Chain A
Amino acid sequence: MSARHPDTALFVTCLVDLYRPQVGFASLQLLERAGMTAEAPPAQTCCGQPAFNGGDRAGAQAIAKQVIASFAEYAQVVVPSGSCAGMMRRHYPELLAHDPAWAARARDFAAKVVELSECLVQAGINLHMAWPGKVCFHHSCAVLREMEVQGQPLKLLAQVRGLEVTEPVDREACCGFGGVFSVKYPDIAIRLADDKLDDVKASGAELLVAGDLGCLLHLAGRASRRGDPLRVFHLAEVLADQLDQPGIGEGA
C-alpha cells in the first residue's frame, strides 16, 4: 500500500455500501490503476438525496455539511454514481448558498466532486482487458443531465477488447427508478422499467451496465421478475474485469 497520503477520496454511496460493496472496491482499484492514491473515509453515510428530494431541506443541509466536513482534506472526491455526484456538485452549493459559514465551503467542495467514469477518462486509464460479449449501456439521467457526462462511459467500455457496446434506442429515457419514486409509485416505475428493458432486449445485449446502482437494482429486480435472462453490472465492475462474478441479483 502506498505510504503517500491519499489525496483522492471515494464517496462509496449508501447503495454501494449496502448492496454492492464490490463496486466500491472495484472503484478503488481502478483509481489506483489510473495513478491515484485513493481511500474511502469511514465517516460517510449518505449524500442526502432522499432528504433533498423528499422536501426536507433542513435535513439535506445537515447531511451536506457532514459530507463536506468529512471530505475536507481531500483534493478530489470520486463518486461511482451520477446522481450522488450530481447532488454533491450541483445541489450542495445551492442548498448552502445562503449560509455564510458554509456557502464558500460548499462551492469549493463541489469543485472537487467527480463522477467515476469522468475521473478515469481524465486520468487516462488504460484497461488492458478483453471480454467477448454484447453490452447495453444505460445512461442514468443524473449522469447525462446533472453531471453532463456524455461519452466517458462509452469511451471506457470501448477499451475492452471484444466487447460490443450498444445503447437503448431512446438513450435519454429515464428507467423509472427515481429514488423514493420507485417505492411510492411502483406501478409507474415498473412500466418505465419495462419500456427500458424492452429496449435493452431489442438491442440483443446479454449484459446491462450503468453507472448508477439505483437504476441497476430497479432494472435487475424487474428483469429477474420478468424472467429476462439479462446479467446486470455496475460500470466499475466491468472495467475492473469482474464479469465472471455473479451479477446484480444473481445467486452465488
Chain B
Amino acid sequence: MGKGSPRDFKRQAGVALKDPALRIALGRARSGFVEKRTQARRQLPEFDRLCAAATRVRDHSIDHLDTLLVRFEQEVLAAGGQVHWAATAAEARQIISGICSDAGARVVAKGKSMVGEEIALNPALEADGLTVVETDLGEYIVQLAKERPSHIIAPAVHKTREQVAALFARRHEGPRRDLSGIPELVDEARRVLRRAFLSADVGITGANLLIADTGTSVLVTNEGNGDLCATLPDTHVVIAGIDKVVANATDAATVLRVLARSATGQPITAYTSFFSGPKRAEDLDGPKHFHVVLLDNGRADIRQGRYRDMLRCIRCGACLNHCPVYTAVGGHAYGAVYPGPMGAVLTPLQWGLRESRDLPNACTLNGRCADVCPVHIPLPALLRQLREDIHDAKVEGRMQRWLLGRWVRLALQPDRYRRVTAQVAGLLRRLAGARGRVSRLLPIPGWGRGRDMPAPAGKTFFQQYRTPSKSSGDRS
C-alpha cells in the first residue's frame, strides 16, 4: 500500500497545503480536539497530578518490561489463552497468518490497531486469500479509499463528509440513497459492517494496555467495534507492542484517566474493555480461542538508548492535535504509519535517519506537544536529539551543513561577526530602498516565495552603540 514515504515529506506537504478540502477538515479537527481536551482538563482539578502519576506508571513499566511481560504471559496461559512473541513485523505477520489458517478463516474483522498498521498486516492477510474488514468507522473509510490512517485516533480526520459520501456511493452496492448527512453515513457503515462482524471467523484488535497481574488486554473504543470483534468470532487475536504492559489494575486505571481526556476530551470512552483469555466453559458466548501477539519491532532497542522516554507513549494523539505542522499538512504528508510529533520521533528510529530526516526537522520546536503530552514525553528535546544524530551521521542536506558550519564559526569571532553583519545590513537596506522591505531578489532562499523580508531599520545595533562604561573608562 504505497502511501508516500517520509523521504518525500516536503513534496507531500506541499500537495497537502494546496488541498482546500483537507484544510477544512483539519481546521475543524484542530479546534475541536484542542477545545475538548482543554475542557476535560479544566473539569478535573487533579488532571496535571494524574498525568505525573501516569508518567511514573509508564516509567515503571518500561523499567521492568521483562518481569511484567513474563508475568503477563503466565497469566494469559493460565486463563487458557496463548502468547506469541514477534521480534519483527514479518514475524508478527507470520504468526497471525498462522493463527488465521489454523482457524480455517475466510473473513477477518479488525478493530483499529496502530500496531496492525505498523506491521502492514492487512496486505499480508489478503495475500493469504482472506477478506479483511476494518470495522472502526474511520479505519473502514481509509480502507475503502485505499489510504492509510492520517491520525492515530481519528484515521479519516482528513476527509469531509462529502468525500465519505462519495466513497460510500462508489464502493457500496445498493440503490441510490440519501448519504448527505453524518447520521446516514454512520447508519450505512453500521449496516455494511454488521454483516462483516457476523461472518468473521477471526477478530483482531489492538490493545491500549496490557495488565501483567491478571494477563488482561485493555481496549478503549467509542464505537463498540472492538468489542464485537472480541465477542462474535470464534478466535480473538490481540496485537500489542511490548511497551504496552503495566503492572496491575491500579496502574491501568491511572493511565486510563488521562488517556481519553487527552485524546477526545472524554472522561472515559463509551467502552473500556478488559479481556482475559477465551470463553470459560460455562460462558454462553465469547471466542473459543484467544491469542496475544507481543511485538518488539525495535522497541527493545529504543528502550536501551536515549529515546527511552518515547516508550511511555500511550497513543492518545494529543501531540498531533496540538502540532501546528500536523494540523497544517495532515498525517499523510509524513509518509509514515505514525504522523505528527510522536511519529516524527518514532519513524526515524524504526525506519532510519536518512529516509526520515525531514520529519524531526519539520518542527518549529514550539513545545506545545510536550505541554499536552499526558506522560510528559519531552518531544521537542527528542526531536532535537534526532537532529543531532542526523548531523553526526552527516545525512542532512549538504547546503544546510555548510551554512550552519559557517554560521557557527562566524558567531565565535565577534569582531569578524560585526564586520559581516554590518555589510549584510547595508546590502539588505540597499535592496529594500525606501520601501523598508525586500520583495524580490531575496538573499535567503526559501523566504521570499510568500513573504517580504523586512529591511534592517538602520545600521546594526553595534555599529551605532557605544558602551557607556567603556567610554567613561572604568572598564576595558
- Direct contact, A vs B (beta carbon within 8 Å): yes
Interface of A is mostly: helix
Instruction: Take A63-B412, A222-B450 as given contacts and tell me if A173 and B324 are in contact as well, using a CB distance cutoff of 8 Å.
Output: yes
Q: Known A66-B412, A141-B364; judge A185-B13 contact (CB<8 A).
A: yes
Q: Which of A106-164 contact B (CB under 8 A)?
A: 141-142, 145-146
Interface residues of B in 362-383 (CB under 8 A from A): 362-368, 370-371
Interface contact A186-B447, CB-CB below 8 Å: yes
Q: How far is the CA of A83 from the CA of B387 in the complex (A)?
A: 18
Chain B residues closer than 8 Å to A192, beta-carbon distance: 324-325, 328, 364
Q: A53-B365, A193-B451 are in contact. Are A40 and B445 (CB under 8 A)?
A: no
Which A residues are CB-close (under 8 A) to B451?
186, 190, 193, 218, 221-222, 225
User: Of B362, B407, B410, B468, which is within 8 A of A1 by CB?
Assistant: B468
Q: Is B56 an interface residue (CB 8 A)?
A: no
In the complex formed, the residue of A with least CB distance to B474 is A5
7 closest A-B pairs by beta carbon, nearest first, are: A178-B364, A55-B391, A249-B454, A55-B387, A221-B451, A59-B408, A141-B366
Contact check, A40 vs B366: say whether CB atoms are below 8 A apart.
no
Q: Which of B370, B411, B468 contacts A6 (CB 8 A)?
A: B468
- 26 residue pairs of the A-B complex, CB under 8 angstroms, read A5-B469, A5-B475, A14-B411, A21-B463, A24-B465, A25-B461, A39-B468, A54-B387, A54-B391, A55-B387, A55-B388, A56-B405, A57-B388, A145-B370, A178-B364, A184-B446, A187-B449, A191-B328, A192-B328, A218-B451, A221-B437, A222-B452, A224-B454, A225-B451, A248-B457, A251-B433
Task: Note all chain B residues with C-beta closer than 8 A to A252.
Answer: 434, 436
Q: Interface stretch among B83-91, B114-122, B188-196, B417-425?
A: B417-425
Q: Are A19 and B391 in contact (CB under 8 A)?
A: no
The count of A-to-B residue pairs whose CB atoms sit within 8 angstroms is: 234
A188 at the A/B interface (Cβ < 8 Å)? yes
Interface centre among A25, A52, A66, A188 (most CB of B within 10 A): A188
Task: Say whether B123 faces chain A, with CB atoms less than 8 Å apart.
Answer: no
A146–B381 alpha-carbon span in the complex (Å): 12
Q: How far is the CA of A161 from the CA of B463 in the complex (A)?
A: 34
Contact B474 A17 (CB under 8 A): no
Instruction: Pick from A16, A178, A224: contact of B365, CB below 8 A.
Output: A178
A35 interface residue (CB < 8 Å to B): no
Report A81 CB to chain B, min CB distance, Å. 13
Nearest CB in chain A: distance from B464 CB, A: 6
State the CA gap A45–B465 with chains docked (Å): 14
- Given A45-B417, A141-B364, are A22 and B410 neighbors across the interface (CB < 8 Å)? no
Instruction: Looking at the assembled complex, report how far the CB atom of A138 sits from the nearest CB atom of chain B, in whole angstroms.
Output: 12
Q: Is the interface of B mostly helix, strand, loop or mixed?
A: helix
Q: Number of A interface residues at 8 Å Cβ cutoff, please give it.
A: 77
Q: What is the 8 Å Cβ interface bit string for chain A, positions 170-188, against chain B (1 contact, 0 not)?
A: 1011101111111111111
Q: Interface code A16-49, partner B: CB below 8 Å = 1, 0 otherwise?
A: 1111111011000000000000011111111010
Given contacts A19-B456, A172-B368, A183-B444, contact A1 B467 (CB under 8 A): no
Give the distance in Å from the alpha carbon of A59 to the alpha carbon of B412 in the complex.
9
In the complex, what residue of chain B is closest to A17 when comparing beta carbons? B461
Distance in Å from the Cβ of A143 to the closest Cβ of chain B?
A: 11
Q: Is the CB of A40 within 8 A of B461?
A: yes
Contact of B324 among A21, A24, A176, A249 (CB under 8 A): A176
On chain B, the residues within 8 Å of A48 by CB distance are 411
Instruction: A251 to B458: give the CA distance in the assembly, Å.
Output: 11
Determine whether the beta carbon of B469 is less than 8 Å from that of A39.
Answer: yes
A21-B461, A187-B17 known; 20 new pairs, CB 8 Å cut-off, are: A21-B458, A21-B460, A53-B365, A54-B387, A63-B412, A141-B366, A146-B367, A170-B31, A173-B324, A181-B362, A181-B364, A182-B446, A184-B446, A190-B451, A192-B364, A221-B452, A246-B436, A248-B454, A250-B437, A251-B435
Residues of chain A within 8 A (CB-CB) of B417 are 45-46
Q: Which residues on the B side are within 8 Å of A240 (C-beta)?
A: none
With a cutoff of 8 Å between Cβ atoms, the chain B residues found around residue A63 in the complex are: 408, 411-412
| B389 in contact (CB, < 8 A) | yes
- Check: A78 CB closer than 8 A to any chain B CB: no
State in angstroms the CA–CA spacing of A188 and B12 once bound together. 11
In the assembled complex, which residues on chain A have CB atoms less than 8 Å from the CB atom of B324?
Answer: 173-174, 176, 192, 195
Q: How far is the CB of A57 from chain B (nearest CB, A)?
A: 5
